[in-house]
Structure 1
Amino acid sequence: MTMISCSSFSFEHNLYETMSCLQRCSKQDELKQIHARMLKTGLMQHSYAVTKFLSFCVSSTSSDFLPYAQIVFDGFDRPDTFLWNLMIKGFSCSDEPKTSLLLYHRMLCCSAPHNAYTFPSLLKACSNLSAFQETTQIHAQITKLGYENDVYAVNSLINSYAVTGNFELAHLLFDRMSKPDAVSWNSVIKGYVKAGKMDIALTLFQKMAEKNAISWTTMISGYVEAGMNNEALQLFHEMQNSDVEPDNVSLANALSACAQLGALEQGKWIHSYLNKERIRIDSVLGCVLIDMYAKCGEMEEALGVFNNIKIKSVQAWTALISGYAYHGHGREAISKFMEMQKMGVKPNVITFTAVLTACGYTGLVEEGKLIFYSMERDYNLKPTIEHYGCIVDLLGRAGFLDEAKCFIQDMPLKPNAVIWGALLKACRMHKNIELGEEIGDILIAMDPFHGGRYVHKANIHALAKQWDKAAETRRLMKEQGVAKVPGCSTISFEGTTHEFLAGDRSHPEIKKIQSKWSIVRRKLEEHGYVPELEDMLLDLVDVDEREAIVHQHSEKLAITYGLLKTKPGTVIRIMKNLRVCKDCHRVTKLISKIYKRDIVMRDRTRFHHFRNGKCSCGDYW
């Protein structure tokens, strides 16, 4: 029978009890009590107990525990390499990565020995700080101490150089590796992705022998961030056909691509995949699902996802309110804004942007002003330039142009081109020629390479029949080399997105589309349709030529293609990159009545639901 001494039993029991308390610790006061107990019982003299204590502090989600760990660490005379590495790693993942570099400087001053685990954390801190100079200094240390062939150190170097924009150095290190692993490939690809160099990233990605989930996700995320949403979805489908299961990040990015493209069918498929694979819909996936359904015109589905989220974050509430804003449901947006606060969720600055946008799209002037002035008074949130822009847009759309101008002049922030642009559009909408000319001059001086500024100002002159001034504005636009953004509309069905430009003849079925449009046009004219040419006063002087062009607007081509390719009763969904013009808006209303079709159109700023000759915007857009 083995004899156990009382002192040995006492130490083991004390260690077990202390570690158990540590695992349940959630407050700094409790942490201090555990530290005091360890000092009193002598556990702070044992490396295992100290390591456990500091590891807990470093890995904790509490913001108070890491600084406390440093206080404890600073009390040691000669901490070993493991403890140095532990503290450096902790701060490299925190909001204060600079502390990792300061700790390393101390480590050098103390002549503490290094090992292979020292450098990856240091380089992670450099990446978070975008610190190129410090990266080169650590690179020198790696070479000096003989770790230049250590795969972890080299991978961290590649990542740090790539993140700081030094692709040549990152690529050079990568090319020198005899056997680069998946992390090596992913690090160099990630650098090019972050810089928006998607062509180089794709070339490297295609050369990878074995792609893991991170490889696919990095590329898909990069395409979404670059606005290359079709490419993102194509790659996502390729990922599905490979042996790699998509992770939550790739799924969220694919849903974001669907949202931007209005690709409802593909978005629904991903939602079904989540349910089929029993993937937990966390706060991020919940938000992107709400956003996807809202941007694809399905607010009922968006609300259904929202209602199924157990713990609703401020981001989820904001996504839903934004959805109501896109669809012009101002009252519903305000209702949800009030409800979230009753549920104890405090709105953030993005929430206010969403609800103020909703007020602007529905003419809720007084409600919008009350919400705006409550930001600082009731929520201690300082309005940003976006919030001031929302109020200018709100006042301008409603016709309060003088009030909007005074509001801009009294702003504590310097108005930018977006602020003045909102007022200029309102001047054109309400035919305020004098103010429009004044704002137009301000905008062109401020933003001389934005085509929309010249177009709006030229059309202001045209409304006043000031043809010389209008022509002069167009001439100035050409001299600056500024081009007008062409109208582009897309329609998606059966997993394919079809794109149309104004006057486009490149579509393989263009002859069928034109033939169908001739039939549609005759039916429109039978219902009293006459083209509205006000939005294109300057495109051509000749009325017949202007009329010919208005019949080739991109949304008309897309809707006609929808009528051609879908069964009667099917909802037609259109995406437009610019604000829909008056003529296309009127035509779409008539088509919805004549063909008994629901048409959902998302233009640059909002949704229009056309049904039985009426639009959800109430002609207020």
Structure 2
Amino acid sequence: MVVVPSPPPWAPPPELVSNHPALRHLLTCTSMPHFIQIHALAITTGAVTDNFAAARILSFPAFSPAGSLPYARRLFAANHRSDAFITNILLRAYASLPNPFPALSFFAETLDSSSPLRRPHPNTLALALKASADAGDLDVGKAVHGMALKLAEASDVSVQNFLVRLYASFRLISPARLVYDGIFDLNDASMNIMLGAYLNCGLLEDARQLFDEMPERRIISWSVMINGLVQNSLFSEALEIFTAMLVEKVDPNESVYVNALSACAHLGAVDQGKWIENHLRRKNFAATVRIGTALIDMYLKSGCVKNAFDVFDSMREKNSLTWSAMIAGLAINGRGEDSLRLFSSMEAAGISPNEVTFVGVLNACSHSGLIDEGAKHFKSMSWVYGIRPNVQHYCCLVDLYGRAGMLAEAEEVIENMPMEPNSAVWGSLLNACRIHGDVNLVERAGKKLLELEPENSGRYVLLSNIYARRGMWEEVAEIRRIMKKRRVTKTPGSSYVDLDGENHEFMAGDSFHSEKTAVYAKIEEMRSRLKTAGYKPRIKEVLIDIEDDDEKESSLYHHSEKLALAFGLIRSELGSTIRITKNIRVCDDCHLVVKMVSKIYGREIVVRDRSRFHHFKDGDCSCKDYW
């Protein structure tokens, strides 16, 4: 499907052109100098005295990418016959800005006692409610609600729709539902806004019920549902809805494709992602920067670097987000030097990097051990590009020094940060302690983490694991007592292996999988061949107090990624790549085993854990054991 663009809002209808021929030039206007000539002609021919013509003239500087909102504001001020329609054009333009406060300011001006427009139109109130929600100002939104009630406009469907949106944006589902239930003239927009309200508040069953009860589901309803599921991290469910949409022969729009690809990226479902790319081609869907960027992100988060490069190189237009996705993706796939080369190409192409770009650049330096280059790029953010580093960039800097064993420098960064370090910063420092060891620093970083995130089980587990590796079992027991007291439960380790578009999940010590007998038989075969190849188990990775070494070794073989690997060897075609996704960090022993298996069985294996990708081939890993 080729998307046919709708005419721009400043395009005049034929009947208006026949009355005011000067407006014909608006159809080909692409710059403000050209528009100023059209405006002058409209003044001399008297077109500006017609409010319909004046509205089209105002629309160009208000909405065109080549326009000028300050010029539109002067036009509005000069028109002493402005009505509600013209007012709403300017208000809508302000409301579409990333910063919603100018819209609220302009709305307040229209209420001035000297203004002939001090009784706002329902559409004006609706736009003010939208700006209030976007600005995160519930008090202003409530004031507009009160105004609508006072003016007897609260029953207008556009006002009610945006009231639902306002209250839902603050997760106030009861008032949102109260307004929704009072909509007499319920329309598609009303139902879609309420659907989004439920999803925004995490009320997924209510959202699904409303979605299923819709008399007719248009593209926007499918889009809202899929987007909401993705935002709630229900990626499998989002892909199920996407599939149902195709079955019902509803053509997806750009937003749906982007969200479906995002779901594939989070699941590591590369086969489904490839199917979506082929589907786009079959439909002749117009390639857009958003879809291209989403494809790149999906491939890189599935460990398919070549596919990502193919998409990147084929894109005619790329923005900073496209470049940033590629730079960050290469970094987490162990291609740090390629990531930095691409950053240089981005600079050479005249594309200005942003905050997101530098997160990728700093991660590339951190994962590749490029300490001096990472420090140089961190300084260049403010010195060269005028970008003030945020807490995420400082976190990357701590990680850069910490991975390299420069713990004093990492701690110094934290002490000199211009903002309060968050849990991610302290987590990076604690991870460095796990790699290089510093019990005193472990105590300080661990204490800070448990203060900042008392309900995050991962923080307790990391601290407990550090103690366990050093045989500090009393400290391990104390961490467990604190978890029990605070009712914090550990997230169990699990791994997924993607085969033929289907994800197969394994838990540590899994005894429930339908093919567990074959899997454990394969584990024993792997164990025998590994020992022949010289494998020595890293029993320090057994993080429970077991005295018998054989028992420790057996427990290592029941880690979820080894079970997933065994299943992949059984079910995948010879020579094909095995892709595994792990919900927590891969342990050192599993990393060693997968390296050796890649050589013994002649297979390429890609393991994605919570922080990066490991590409195993011929007994080597892309991380070069620096992770």
TM-score between the two structures when normalised by the length of structure 2: 0.89
The equivalent of 1:211 in structure 2 is 217
Contact preservation (8 Å) 1:287, 1:316: yes
After superposition, the Cα gap between the structure-2 partners of 1:138 and 1:412, relative to the gap in structure 1 and judged at 3 Å, is closer
1:72 to 75, 78, 90: 75
Say if 1:22 and 1:34, in contact at 8 Å, map to a contact too: no
Q: What amino acid is the match of 1:70?
A: R
Q: 1:13 to 1:553 in 2, by over 3 A?
A: closer
Alpha-carbon offset, residue 14 of structure 1: 11
1:314 aligns with 2:320: yes
User: Structure 1 residues 73 and 466, CA, compared in 2 at 3 Å: closer, same or farther?
Assistant: closer
Q: Which residue of 1 aligns with 2:424?
A: 418
Instruction: Identify if the C-alpha distance between structure 1 residues 453 and 128 changes in structure 2 by more than 3 Å, giving closer, same or farther.
Output: closer
Cα distance change on mapping 1:517 and 1:179 into 2, 3 Å: farther
- C-alpha deviation, 1:50, in angstroms: 2.4
C-alpha distance 22-178 of structure 1, shift in aligned 2 (>3 A):
closer
CA–CA separation in structure 1 for the residues paired with 2:60 and 2:319:
27
**Deviation per residue, 1:543-590 (Å, 9 max, x gap):** 444333222111011111111212221211000111100111111112
SS in 2 for 1:609: strand
Amino acid at match of 1:59: F
Residue 24 of structure 1 pairs with residue 12 of structure 2: no
Classify 1:85/1:327 alpha carbon distance in 2 versus 1 (closer, same or farther; 3 Å): closer
Give secondary structure in 2 for the equivalent of 1:379. Answer: coil
Deviation string, structure 1 residues 369-389 (Cα, Å, up to 9, x no partner) = 111111111111111111111
Q: Which residue of 2 aligns with 1:88?
A: 91
SS in 1 for 2:384: helix
Counterpart AA for 1:58:
A
Q: Distance in 1 between matches of 2:235 and 2:266?
A: 7
Q: 8 Å contact 2:31–2:66 — kept in the other structure? A: yes
Aligned to 1:569, the other structure's residue is in SS state coil
SS at match of 2:202: coil
Cα 1:383/1:138, change in 2 over 3 Å:
closer
Report what 1:187 is aligned to: 193
2:332 corresponds to: 326
* Secondary structure in 2 matching 1:356: helix
Whether contact under 8 Å (1:80, 1:112) holds in the other structure is no
Equivalent in 350, 353, 378 of residue 372 of structure 1: 378
Residue 248 in structure 1 maps to residue 248 in structure 2: no
CA contact under 8 A between 1:85 and 1:118: conserved in structure 2? yes
Partner of 1:553: 559
Contact 1:375/1:382 (<8 A) preserved = yes
Deviation digits for residues 456-479 of structure 1 (CA, Å, limit 9, x no counterpart): 434444444444334334433433
Q: Is the 8 A contact 2:331 2:339 kept in 1?
A: yes
Distance 1:45 1:473 in 2: 77
Aligned counterparts, 1:582-593, within 5 A:
582-593=588-599
Distance of 1:88 and 1:372 partners within structure 2:
40
What does 1:93-108 correspond to in 2, within 5 Å?
Answer: 93-94=96-97, 95=99, 96-106=102-112
Opposite residue 368 of structure 2, the aligned amino acid is T
Deviation at 1:61, TM superposition (A): 2.6
Q: Residue 420 of structure 2 aligns to a residue in which SS?
A: coil
The one of 395, 404, 407 equivalent to 2:401 is: 395
Deviation digits for residues 20-61 of structure 1 (CA, Å, limit 9, x no counterpart): 26952523x665565555555654434344233223233223
Q: 1:281 to 1:111 in 2, by over 3 A?
A: closer
**Gap change, CA 1:237 and 1:556, over 3 Å in 2:** same
Write the distance in 2 (CA, Å) between the matches of 1:400 and 1:185: 56
The amino acid of 1:352's aligned partner reads F
| 2:173 is aligned with 1:170 | no
Q: Report the equivalent of 1:449.
A: 455
Aligned pairs for 1:498-509 within 5 A: 498-509=504-515
1:339 to 334, 345, 348: 345
Conserved 8 A contact 2:595-2:619: yes
What secondary structure sits across from 2:490 in the alignment? coil
Amino acid aligned to 2:89: L
The residue that corresponds to 1:54 in the other structure is 58
Which structure would you say has the larger Rg?
1
Q: Quick one: distance in 1 between partners of 2:562 and 2:291?
A: 35
Q: Does the 8 A contact of 2:91 with 2:106 survive in 1? A: yes
Are 1:579 and 1:604, in contact at CA under 8 Å, matched by a contact in 2? yes
| TM-score, length basis structure 1 | 0.90
Q: In structure 1, what is the Cα distance between the partners aligned to 2:443 and 2:146?
A: 61
Cα shift at 1:329: 1.0
> Is the Cα–Cα contact under 8 Å of residues 131 and 164 in structure 1 kept in the other structure?
no
CA RMSD of aligned residues (A): 2.8
Preserved CA contact (<8 Å) 2:25 2:38: no
Structure 2 unaligned segments of length 5 or more: list them.
1-16
Mapped to 2, the partners of 1:88 and 1:498 lie a distance apart of 51
> Quick check: 1:521 aligned with 2:521?
no
> Contact 1:81/1:114 (CA < 8 Å) preserved in 2?
yes
Sort the Cα spacing of 1:131 and 1:436 in 2 relative to 1 into closer, same or farther, 3 A.
closer
| CA offsets 1:288-338 (integer angstroms, 9 cap, x no match) | 100111111111110010011112211111111112101111111110011
Partner residue of 2:494 out of 462, 473, 488 = 488
CA contact (8 A) 2:496 2:503 kept: yes
Q: Does 1:122 align with 2:128?
A: yes
Indicate conservation of the 8 Å contact 2:22/2:38, yes or no. Answer: no
User: Cα distance, 1:513 vs. partner?
Assistant: 1.8
SS at match of 1:491: strand
Residue 291 of structure 2, aligned match among 265, 282, 285: 285
Task: Output the amino acid matched with 1:159.
Answer: R
The 2-side partners of 1:128 and 1:257 are apart by 26
Q: Which amino acid in the other structure matches residue 190 of structure 1?
A: G
Q: Which moved more, 1:320-329 or 1:115-124?
A: 115-124
- Give 5+ residue unaligned stretches, structure 1: 1-11
Query: Relative to 1, partners in 2 of residues 1:108 and 1:488: Cα closer, same or farther, differing over 3 Å?
Result: farther
Partner of 1:594: 600
Q: 8 Å contact 2:111–2:118 — kept in the other structure?
A: no
Q: Equivalent of 1:409, from 406, 415, 424? A: 415
- What letter corresponds to residue 16 of structure 1 in structure 2? P
Q: How much does 1:98 deviate?
A: 0.8
Query: How many corresponding residue pairs?
Result: 609
Kindly indicate whether residue 360 of structure 2 is the aligned counterpart of residue 357 of structure 1: no
Cα distance between partner residues in 2 of 1:219 and 1:534: 46
Greater Cα offset, 80-89 or 494-503: 80-89
**Selected match of 1:296 from 297, 302, 308:** 302
**Aligned equivalents of 1:137, 1:314: Cα separation in 2:** 39
Q: Supply the distance in 2 between the matched residues of 1:111 and 1:297 (Cα, whole angstroms).
A: 58
1:92–1:100 Cα contact (<8 Å) kept: no
1:84 and 1:107 in contact (8 A); partners too: no
